[in-house]
Amino acid sequence: SYALSIQGLNKTYRNGFVALRGIDLHVREGDFFALLGPNGAGKSTTIGILSTLVTKTSGTVEVFGHDLDSHPLQLKRCLGIVPQEFNFNQFELVLNILVVQAGYYGIKRKEALARAEQLLRQLELWDKRHTQARLLSGGMKRRLMIARALMHQPRLLILDEPTAGVDIEMRRSMWEYLTRLNEQGTTIILTTHYLEEAEQLCRNIAIIDHGQIVENTSMRQLLAQL
Ligand code: ADP
Ligand code: ADP
C-alpha cells in the first residue's frame, strides 16, 4: 500500500505563476524517499499542499488512503511535517512546545510528557527542555522541529530540506537518527537539492524540475546512470 499517493497535482499561485504541472508521485509504506530538485522546482509548494498551508489548484493527494479533500483530519493524524522555516513560538520553552503540540492531537498530558522526554533525549535536546526556543542553535531548532512533528507518532514523516544550515557533524547524527526511525517503521520523505544527502539516506528518488517530475527511480539505478 502507499504511504503517499499524488495524482495530477497542479498549483498556480494567485499571481499566475505555475509552480506544479501535473505531479504524479507514489511512495510505498516503509520507504525512505527523496524528492530532489533545484531551488524553485516546486518542492516546498508540494509540501505546503500536504500541510494544507497551500491550496492546490487541482489533483488528488492521499496519505495512507486518506484523501486530502474528503478526510483531512484522518490524513493529518498519520502525517508529520517538518517545514523549512522555524515556525514554533520562539519565546516558548522547548518542552512546552512539544506538550502543546500533543494537545492539538488530543494526547493526554502524562503521555505527552513521556513522549516528549523520549524524543528530547533521542534528539539530544533534553538538557534544553527548560530553555526558550529562540536561544537554541540552528541545528537544535531543526531537531526541535523534528521532535514536534513526531509527537503524535505519524506513520509518514516529511521533511523539507532537513539539514539546511546544519554543520557536517550534526548532519551525520541527524541522518543516523532518521535512518533508525525508518528502520523502526516510519515512512520518510525528504526534499533536498543535494544529491549526497539523498544518496546517503534514500532508497527511491524522484527528481522535480520546473514543477514536473522528470525522473522517478531507485537510488541505485540513478547512481548507475551517472
Ligand atoms: P522549491 O521548494 O523547490 O525551492 P518552491 O515550491 O518554494 O520551490 O517554489 C516553486 C516556485 O513557486 C518558485 O519559482 C517560487 O518563486 C514560486 N512561488 C512560491 N511561493 C509563491 C507564492 N506565494 N506566489 C507566487 N509564486 C510562488
Ligand atoms: P507563532 O507564529 O507561533 O505565534 P511567534 O514567535 O511568531 O510564534 O510569536 C509568538 C508570540 O510571541 C506572539 O504572541 C508574538 O506576538 C510574540 N512575539 C513574536 N516575536 C516577538 C518579538 N520579537 N518580541 C516580542 N514578542 C514577540
The residues near 4 (Cβ < 8 Å, ≥ 6 apart) are 25, 26, 27, 50, 61, 62, 63, 156, 187, 189
Mutate to test the pocket of ligand 1, among 15, 45, 47 (most ligand atoms within 8 A of CB): 45
> What is the 3-state composition of the chain as percent helix, strand, coil, each rounded to the nearest 5?
40, 30, 30
Q: According to the model, what pLDDT value does residue 60 have?
A: 98
Q: According to the model, what pLDDT value does residue 166 have?
A: 85
Residue range 2-16: average pLDDT?
98
Q: According to the model, what pLDDT value does residue 45 have?
A: 97
CA-nearest residue, atom 25 of ligand 2: 91
pLDDT at 22 over 90: yes
Please report which confidence band the pLDDT of residue 167 belongs to, taking 50, 70 and 90 as the band edges.
Answer: confident
Q: According to the model, what pLDDT value does residue 225 have?
A: 87
pTM summary value:
0.88
Whether residue 41 has its Cβ less than 6 Å from ligand 1 = yes
Q: According to the model, what pLDDT value does residue 126 have?
A: 98
So what's the ipTM on this one? Answer: 0.73
Whether residue 225 has its Cβ less than 6 Å from ligand 1 = no
Whether residue 5 has its Cβ less than 6 Å from ligand 1 = no
Q: According to the model, what pLDDT value does residue 91 have?
A: 97
pLDDT tens for 31-73 read: 999 999 999 999 999 999 999 999 999 999 999 999 999 999 9
CA-nearest residue, atom 11 of ligand 1: 40
pLDDT at 165 over 90: no
pLDDT at 9 over 90: yes
The residues near 190 (Cβ < 8 Å, ≥ 6 apart) are 33, 34, 35, 158, 159, 160, 161, 162, 178, 197, 198, 201, 202
Q: According to the model, what pLDDT value does residue 193 have?
A: 87
Whether residue 19 has its Cβ less than 6 Å from ligand 1 = yes
Long-range contacts of 138-146 (CB under 8 A, 24+ apart): 138/165, 138/166, 139/165, 139/166, 139/167, 139/170, 139/174, 141/86, 141/88, 142/82, 142/86, 142/166, 142/174, 143/174, 144/88, 144/94, 144/97, 145/82, 145/83, 145/86, 145/88, 146/82, 146/174, 146/177
Q: Which of 185, 223, 177 is nearest to 203 (CA)?
A: 223
Which protein residues touch ligand 2 with a CB less than 6 Å away? Answer: 89-91
Q: According to the model, what pLDDT value does residue 168 have?
A: 86
Residue range 104-119: average pLDDT?
97
Residue range 163-169: average pLDDT?
85
Q: According to the model, what pLDDT value does residue 161 have?
A: 92
Q: According to the model, what pLDDT value does residue 65 have?
A: 97
